[in-house]
Amino acid sequence: MTLDDIKAAVDAGQTVHWANTGYVVHKDRLGQYLITYQPNGSCIGLTDREGHRLNGKEAEFFIARLKDGAENLGNQSRPVGQGRGVAPGRAGAFPLGRQL
């Protein structure tokens, strides 16, 4: 996928992966395209600082497929209880100042 293909797919709500399904490309609230390693939340920009060169090979990016082989056209929201600040099997994190 080219840089423009990746951005268009992310903007359309498709789930784009890099290298394997552990890495997901997304757009943050500042409009930056990032690659996040889902197991630990580590993240890198989709491109170099100038925004011209991908941090990965074009051939390594792909759109997630559903079990029946169709493309994932849904949004990228996380399953309930899987958002940031929620530990697996635990209630949501407390805001700073309210920690027990």
Q: What is residue 1's predicted lDDT score, i.e. its pLDDT?
A: 95
Residues 30-79 have pLDDT tens digits of 999 999 999 999 999 999 999 999 999 999 999 988 766 555 554 444 44
Place of tokens 């080219």: 2
Burial class (CB in 10 A: 0-12, 13-18, 19+), 36: middle
Alpha carbon 20 to its chain centroid, in Å, reads 12
Q: Which of 43, 42, 66, 59 is nearest to 2 (CA)?
A: 59
Q: What is residue 66's predicted lDDT score, i.e. its pLDDT?
A: 73
Kindly provide the b/e burial profile for residues 83-92, where b requires at least 16 CB atoms within 10 angstroms of the residue's own CB.
Answer: eeeeeeeeee
Q: What is residue 86's predicted lDDT score, i.e. its pLDDT?
A: 40
Residues 11-21 have pLDDT tens digits of 999 999 999 99
Joined together, the tokens standing for residue 89 give 């099997």
